[in-house]
């Protein structure tokens, strides 16, 4: 790791810090999972090491599935660090707030298609929030932060994935949430097909009802 020069802290995320760095004359992002002082070291190292390996493996798998992710340049498990391409652009979280209706609609459809690509390849992202999607200057949407991603064939996992997307839209972009999520699912359906989309929507409905204190849950259970 001696060949990396930290330039600035880009973002202090929940579990990792992103640094803008210089690596062999290249502008890169260094993602470092910093130790969490709040949990025991043994548990902390297990979680950080596991997530570092997984993240890089699944970022690569996502590319194979047709989902843009930053190019990985170096992985250091012991330091829980990944060095990757720097994607210049804007977070979807910000874009959804400021884009006009049509542009927003297209963005959401594209996001839906990309999620569809991932799911069709048997990958769930695990943390599908609008902060984890970046529109690059070249107009491609990059998915970042695969730290909680998983390979799975389970409908349940795909449901949880999209359920989070829906929830983030409702909590952060509540004014346009319904339309955004509909557009997302339209894009999703164009990749995985109507049947699979209906299945996952039904699963999302089921997950929502599984939450506590949902109106109507008891009624359904009694039916």
Partner 1 sequence: MNNRKPQPSYCLGIESTADDFSVGVCTFEGKTLANVIDAYVPEEGGIHPREAARHHAEVAPRVLEKAFANSRLNPHKLSTIAFAQGPGLGPCLRTGATVARALASYLHVPLVGVNHCIAHVEIGRLKTGAENPVTLYVSGGNTMVVAFNSGRYRVFGETLDIALGNCLDVFAREAGLRQSVGVPLGAAVESLALDGNKLVQLPYTVKGMDISLSGLLTAAVTLLKKQKCRLEDLCYSLQETAFSMVTEVTERALAHTEKEEVLLTGGVAANKRLRSMLKIMTEDHGAKFNAVPSEFAIDNGAMIAWTGALAFAHGSVTPIEQSGVRPRWRLEEVEVPWMT
List active site positions. 127
49 Cβ partners below 8 Å, 6+ apart? 77, 78, 80
# binding residues, partner 1 (CB under 8 A): 36
- By CB under 8 A, is residue 171 in contact with partner 1? yes
Residues in 39-98 at the binding interface with partner 1, rule: CB under 8 A: 39-40, 42-43, 46-47
For partner 1, which residue of 62, 134, 141, 148 counts as binding (CB under 8 A)? Answer: 148
133 or 164: whose CB is closer to partner 1?
A: 164
- By CB under 8 A, is residue 211 in contact with partner 1? yes
Least Å from the CB of residue 177 to partner 1: 11
Least Å from the CB of residue 13 to partner 1: 6
CA dist., res. 82 & res. 220, Å (int):
47
Question: Among the candidate windows 2-10, 61-69, 134-142, 208-216, which touches partner 1 by CB under 8 A?
Answer: 208-216
8 Cβ partners below 8 Å, 6+ apart? 19, 20
Q: What is the DSSP string of 20-74?
A: EEEETTEEEEEEE-PPPTTS-HHHHHHHHHHHHHHHHHHHHHHHHTT---PPEEE
- By CB under 8 A, is residue 153 in contact with partner 1? no
């Amino acid at each position: 790791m001696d060949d990396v020069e930290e330039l600035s802290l880009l973002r202090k995320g929940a579990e990792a810090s992103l640094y803008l760095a210089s690596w062999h004359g290249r502008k890169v992002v260094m993602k470092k999972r910093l130790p969490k002082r709040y949990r025991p070291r043994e548990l902390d190292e297990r979680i950080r090491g596991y997530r570092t390996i997984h993240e890089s493996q699944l970022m690569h798998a996502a590319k194979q599935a047709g989902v843009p992710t930053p190019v990985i340049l170096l992985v250091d498990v012991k330091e829980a660090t990944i060095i990757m391409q720097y994607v210049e652009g804007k977070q979807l979280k910000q874009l959804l707030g400021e884009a006009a209706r049509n542009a927003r609609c297209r963005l959401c459809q594209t996001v839906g298609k990309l999620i569809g690509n991932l799911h069709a390849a048997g990958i769930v992202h695990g943390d599908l929030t609008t902060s984890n999607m970046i529109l690059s200057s070249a107009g491609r949407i990059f998915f970042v932060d695969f730290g909680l991603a998983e390979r799975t064939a389970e409908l349940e996992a795909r449901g949880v994935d999209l359920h989070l997307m829906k929830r983030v839209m409702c909590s952060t972009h509540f004014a346009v949430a319904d339309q955004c999520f509909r557009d997302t699912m339209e894009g999703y359906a164009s990749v995985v097909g109507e049947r699979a989309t209906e299945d996952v929507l039904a699963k999302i409905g089921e997950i929502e009802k599984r939450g506590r204190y949902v109106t109507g849950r008891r009624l359904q259970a009694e039916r």
